Structure 1
């Protein structure tokens, strides 16, 4: 009952079904292992630390159409009004919202006239001294901006001469020394790094360096701008409901729009990746189910073709457990060949996905775990038909003789 030769001979007599199942198992393993790896990669991306207290921060935009409004004075008043709301920790005007997929970035250099390609790419805030508290950013070296260092203007005639950067940017820009006190250049004029903050993410989490963020003390007043507000975590919704009414009291000739929590901004930005991950999960479930049904059907088919053979073995004294083991081992034999071929296909498919979609290299751990899972699944799928075969009575061997 444990000899492989009778099993192989039996499979060869119905080789079309066995080959089709073998191919199905191989293709399923190739797709499942790569899909599982992609899901793991997406989960790591979706669950990455952003450096923000997302459920306590919200943002919104302001569009002003009246050209007679003094925007510098108006936005300063808006910030004071926002900070006066009960439950607000701090607020700041910014040029973009973190984790939103929309922002500003530029190359920052060590020298004023750099060679092409020598800079470090970073997202940059233009804002004021309140932004660190509004974002909940932790200062780990140096100091915050002094109020007098912040440039409040509606043009670029005067620019700031200081900056605060994230530790990730500082390490990439100055890998072998402290960045504090160093001069960096976004244009011909240099700015001094006066502070370094712990990791916060910029607007693009898919960026190659999403934690490279530079902050300039420049409150640039333009007709369309954004505000970041941090509240006590359990009072954000309450504060959000008051913002529009309070700001329109001081100047009704404008539009307040897009009042949204930072976690909601992040969810909107990641919606496509979340959808892809869910589709991959459904794909895995469907493929595994179809393969399990294929194994179940082939085992039933083999049993129906070998009913007399099973009855004869039962008449000769074979136990039910031996019959069950026979079909399970036969199934494992087919599955093992399919999984071996599938493992090779997994590697090939992973290499192609890496080239086309810039995915990381497929880890063999996912191939091995997927193969083990499918082997267990194939045994479970064949278990029911094998039990049915074991219940074939010995009298079947004497029928039609």
Structure 2
């Protein structure tokens, strides 16, 4: 027999502590449910596949101040030098580095401007026929750039007429899957899609369409430029130690900065998300610990107040298991009330996060899982005080009042 009525009567006589614990359980359930869901969402985001062999790629930024060299010719020599270094697979000049949080994007139209039509937003990279191999991405359909399709110029009006796109972009632009060979437009400039890459991310992982990427065979050598290098597995650190000296020996009127690996670029870009993840983990641990301590303390307090009651029950024949069950049931009643309020609050909080911060909708399994976890935690927290109460001798209990 669970003796619900006596337990409720006892809670009414000391309702302040029970109400405070109920509120604490409700708050813990609401916050932990949403925090756990956000953690899982962020972990999925941080562990997403980018399409690149991140562990083999690094980039270097070049700032040229010398005026006695043709930049286009100099960078062609730099690329050739890098490609011939031991341990280097390929190298390419680029206007931006993927996953770095810095780059260029534009709407790619299916009709030339100013004709009305649908536009598909995409990040874009400039590179030559070595770009795909440097990034380590695979062609699904079509072909790579031919060397004579690469435009090397300082004239912004001179542009290529072909492009390679990611499969996600191709599917969004051409849902029927027939994007290969079709034309797309940047403004009124037409570009024929000659290749489709399986998977690749653009400069911004947090973009609405991070998988929409377009590569143009275009090189505009400027005083500020990026060079992307891919090495053989395990050789990246060795190559990075020597690359700056090699390039300076080729031409010393320039400065090399930000020699950085692709995975480090990604880590820096995602630093705020990683910090938020750790803070939420700490928050969950602290909330659960405080709630467990609250239950533990309330149960000990109730035991000290009910010493006579416990002793009387023991004198009337109550077994130790009856005393333990009494406190477990009492805790379960308080916890159940807190969980009902907390689960409702969790759903409402999830809706607010969805509206205000564009987070995904809270999945019910996280609310249910948190409720079960809190219930189990509260039962575990009350076991030791309840066993301590069961050890009270009837004679000692009656003498203590």
1:360 deviates by: 0.7
Distance 1:400 1:207, change over 3 A: closer
Match of residue 172 from structure 1 = 172
Write the distance in 2 (CA, Å) between the matches of 1:2 and 1:224.
77
Aligned residue runs from structure 1 range 220-299, under 5 A: 220-299=220-299
Partner of 1:310: 310
Q: Note closer, same or farther for the CA distance 1:117–1:28 as it changes in structure 2 (3 Å cut).
A: farther
Gaps of 5+ in 2: none
In structure 2, what is the equivalent of residue 399 of structure 1? 399
Shift of 1:251: 0.9
The C-alpha deviation readout for 1:285-307, integer Å capped at 9, x for no partner, is: 00111111110111111111110
CA distance in 1, matches of 2:117, 2:281: 40
Once residues 168 and 189 of structure 1 are traced to their aligned partners in structure 2, the CA distance between those partners, rounded to angstroms, is 22
Corresponding residue for residue 34 of structure 1: 34
Name 1:217's counterpart in structure 2: 217
On the 8 A contact 1:51/1:201 being kept in 2, the answer is yes
Distance 2:114 2:318 in 1: 84
CA RMSD of aligned residues (A): 1.2
Tell me the residue number matched to 2:62. Answer: 62
1:238-280 Cα deviation digits (max 9, x unpaired):
1111111111111100001111111111111111100000000
Q: Cα–Cα, structure 1 residues 114 and 178, in superposed 2: closer, same or farther, change >3 Å? A: farther
Asked if structure 1 preserves the Cα contact closer than 8 Å seen for 2:170 and 2:177, the reply is no
Q: Supply the distance in 1 between the matched residues of 2:305 and 2:88 (Cα, whole angstroms).
A: 76
C-alpha contact 1:93 1:127 (8 A) present in aligned 2: yes
- Which whole-Å CA distance do the structure 1 matches of 2:323 and 2:244 have between them? 76
Give the corresponding residue for 1:364: 364
Residues 166 and 213 of structure 2 are in contact (CA less than 8 Å); yes or no, is this contact kept in structure 1?
yes
Q: Deviations over 1:200-250 (max 9, x none)?
A: 001100111101000000011111110111001110001111111111111
1:352 and 2:352 aligned: yes
- 1:339 and 2:339 aligned: yes
Residues 310, 392 of structure 2: 8 Å contact kept: yes
Which residue of the partner structure matches residue 84 of structure 2? Answer: 84
Q: Distance in 2 between matches of 1:114 and 1:184?
A: 14
The yes-or-no answer on 1:195 pairing with 2:183 is no
Q: Any idea what SS the aligned residue of 2:58 has?
A: strand
- Partners of 1:106 and 1:155 in 2: CA distance: 20
Q: How far did 1:187 drift?
A: 2.0
1:400 and 1:57 mapped to 2: Cα distance?
75
State the SS of the aligned residue for 2:235. Answer: helix
Q: Who is 1:139 aligned against?
A: 139
What CA distance in whole angstroms lies between the structure 2 residues aligned with 1:332 and 1:318? 20
1:113 maps to 113
The equivalent residue for 1:50 is 50
Q: Which residue of 1 aligns with 2:9?
A: 9
1:322 corresponds to 2:360: no
1:396 CA displacement: 3.2
Q: 1:305 to 1:110 in 2, by over 3 A?
A: same
In the aligned structure 1, how far is the partner of 2:326 from the partner of 2:47? 46
Aligned 8 A contact 1:315 1:397 in 2: no
User: Which one is further off, 332-341 or 113-122?
Assistant: 113-122
Deviations 1:137-194 (A, max 9, x none): 1011000000000011122232101000000000000002410110100021201000
For residue 208 of structure 2, what is the aligned residue in structure 1?
208
Please tell me whether the aligned partners of residues 104 and 125 of structure 1 are also in contact (alpha carbons under 8 angstroms): yes
Q: Partner of 2:381 in structure 1?
A: 381
- 2:311 and 2:319 mapped to 1: Cα distance? 11
Distance 1:223 1:344 in 2: 58
Deviation of 1:117 after TM superposition, in Å, equals 7.8
Unaligned runs of 5+ in 1: none
Cα displacement (A) at 1:198:
0.8
> How many residue pairs were aligned?
401
C-alpha distance in 1 between matches for 2:11 and 2:192 = 76
Which deviates the most, 63-72 or 308-317?
Answer: 63-72
Quote how far apart the aligned CAs of 1:397 are.
4.7
Contact kept? 1:71, 1:154, Cα under 8 Å:
no
Query: Is the 1:127–1:220 Cα contact (8 Å) retained in structure 2?
Result: no
CA distance in 2, matches of 1:116, 1:187: 11
Cα separation, 1, equivalents of 2:157 and 2:398: 104
Q: TM-score, normalised by structure 1?
A: 0.98
